[in-house]
Structure formats: structure tokens, C-alpha cells
Amino acid sequence: MNGISMNVGLYSGAAGMRVGEDYQQMISENLSLQSVPGYKQMLPVFSTDPTTVTNRAQLAGGGNPAAVRMTRVVDFSQGQMQPSGSPYHLAIQGKGFFAVREADGSTSYTRNGSFGISPKGQLLTSDGATVLGNGSSPITIPTTKASDVSIGADGTISINGAAHGKVGIAHFDNPSASLQPGAFGRFIAANSSDAKQGPAPNDKILQGSLEESNGNPVEQMASMIQAVRIYEANSKSMKAMDDSQNQLITNLGAHPQG
């Protein structure tokens, strides 16, 4: 094995160790957010990056593999629906997202319908962001009538049988392309025009329920074992390459040419 091949092998091994670390980090994040309603787990996508192999090594014809890399994608599949009993807990059965106004005035989107009412009667997320209604306006419910609130499958809010606005829902033709992960498990639209106002066909809001995370803790733990093995395998490969390189240097020193 020549020096060029070993150097590229070391680089590929280091890249593989990095993939193992990134994979473990992603799984840890999935597990830590497993209990957050509506959380969408991250999934790994593994690929090879041929640009990481030097031209010199390629010309040498050593057959050195390209470095492996990992990217993350969001799994937008729906989680299980669980009754919560709270009239302000909402879940979307379908593809829609609740619209939320962040502290900086921007709009984000979430599947976490664990909402509550502020002292002023505004519908808020569990971390205090404003839940938006139709027309991107905050939803205000008179606190004196809070116990008489019903929210229909289409998001219509009724107080004592009288309509009192509507929960704002948006949907995306391709959420994987349109949405980027943001804070608190929410998503940001890369292009605001991608957000289509209103529910998607067949969307239905369930009052008094929450959507569970779509992750599976057992599968996550199995993936963690795989991630650790990826790291260890590449670590051993790097050590073997390093030992071979050291041996080559020792041999050259013991038998100088010329």
C-alpha cells in the first residue's frame, strides 16, 4: 500500500468517524424530543462524496473510496393521536401545520398543538409564542367564557355556539423541500409563498387531543448501536492505516535507498 493510498484511507476513516458521531448526535436529539407533541424525527441519509478523494490519489489508481457523509432529513409522517382532555390541545389529522408568530414577528409552523390561554385570553404555544388564526391575526378568547369553547374539525372556534374566529392552518405541497427545522420543534418556510393558507384536503382538527412524536424509541436505540459500530469500525481502520504507515516509515529508515 503506497503513502498516497494510506493518506486517503486515513481521511476516509476520519470522515467515517465523523459520520458515526453525527449519527449518534442526531439519535440523541430524537430521543430527547420524543416526548414533545408533534415532534418530527430526523432521519439519516448516507452518501459518498467523490470530491473528497484527491486527484493525485485517483490518478494513482489506488481504488481509494470516497469519504462517506451523512445529511439529515425530516420525517413528516404523522404520529399517533392521543386524547389529552384539555380544550386547548389540538391535533391535526392530515398534512397541515398550525401557524405561529415568533417573538421577532416571523411566522413558523408546527404540529405541536399543546396550546394554552394567557391571562389576556390569547391562544399561545407552551413556550409563549402566539398561535395565529385566519388572516394571520392572534386568537383571543374571553377568559370569562373559556370553559364554553369548542373548536370544530375545520378549526372554527365557537363560544356558546357562536363563531369566534378560526385556527390558522397552512399546508405545503412538498414540506421536505419547503420547510427547515427551527426552534422548539417548529419549522420555517424557506419561501413564504410555499405556505398555502387553509387545511389540506381531508385535514381535520381534533380538539382535546395531541399528536405524539413519530419516532420510535426502540428503533432509535437500535440505530444508536449501529452508529456506535460505524464509529468504532472506522476508528479501527484508521489505527490499522496509521500502524501500517508507521511501519513503512520504520522500514524505509532501516533500509535507506541510495
Q: Is a pLDDT exceeding 60 seen at residue 97?
A: yes
Could you count the other beta carbons within 10 Å of the beta carbon of residue 257? 4
Mean pLDDT score across all residues of the chain = 82
205 and 243 inside one domain: no
Identify whether residues 125 and 205 lie together within a single domain. yes
Based on the domain organization, do 204 and 246 belong to the same domain? no
- Tell me the pLDDT tens digit for each residue of 178-221: 999 998 889 999 998 999 998 889 999 999 999 999 999 888 88
**Residue-level length of the chain:** 258
For 31-83, the pLDDT digits (tens) are 999 999 999 999 999 887 655 444 444 434 444 455 678 889 999 999 999 99
Same domain, 23 and 108: no
CA gap 113, 203 in Å, rounded: 14
Confidence class for position 226, pLDDT limits 50, 70, 90: confident
Total domains in the chain come to 2
Domain ranges, residue 60? 3-77+215-254
Residues 85 and 164 in one domain: yes
Report pLDDT digits (tens) over 127-168: 999 999 988 899 988 766 556 889 999 999 998 888 888 999
Q: Report the number of secondary-structure helices (H) and strands (E) in the chain.
A: 4, 18
Report percent pLDDT > 70 for the chain. Answer: 75
> What percentage of the chain has pLDDT greater than the value 90?
51
> Based on the domain organization, do 71 and 85 belong to the same domain?
no
Same domain, 107 and 204: yes
Q: Comparing 7 with 222, which gets the higher pLDDT?
A: 222
C-alpha cell at 6: 494510506
Residues 219 and 133 in one domain: no
DSSP state of 178: H
Is the domain of 108 the same as that of 197?
A: yes
**Is residue 155 located within the same domain as residue 238?**
no
Of the candidates 170, 142, 167, the residue with the CA atom closest to the CA atom of residue 156: 167
Q: If residue 253 lies in a helix (H) or strand (E), which one and from where to where?
A: helix 217-254
157 and 73 assigned to the same domain: no
Contacts of 219 (CB under 8 A, 6+ apart): none
Task: Give me the amino acid identity at 116.
Answer: G
24 and 127 inside one domain: no
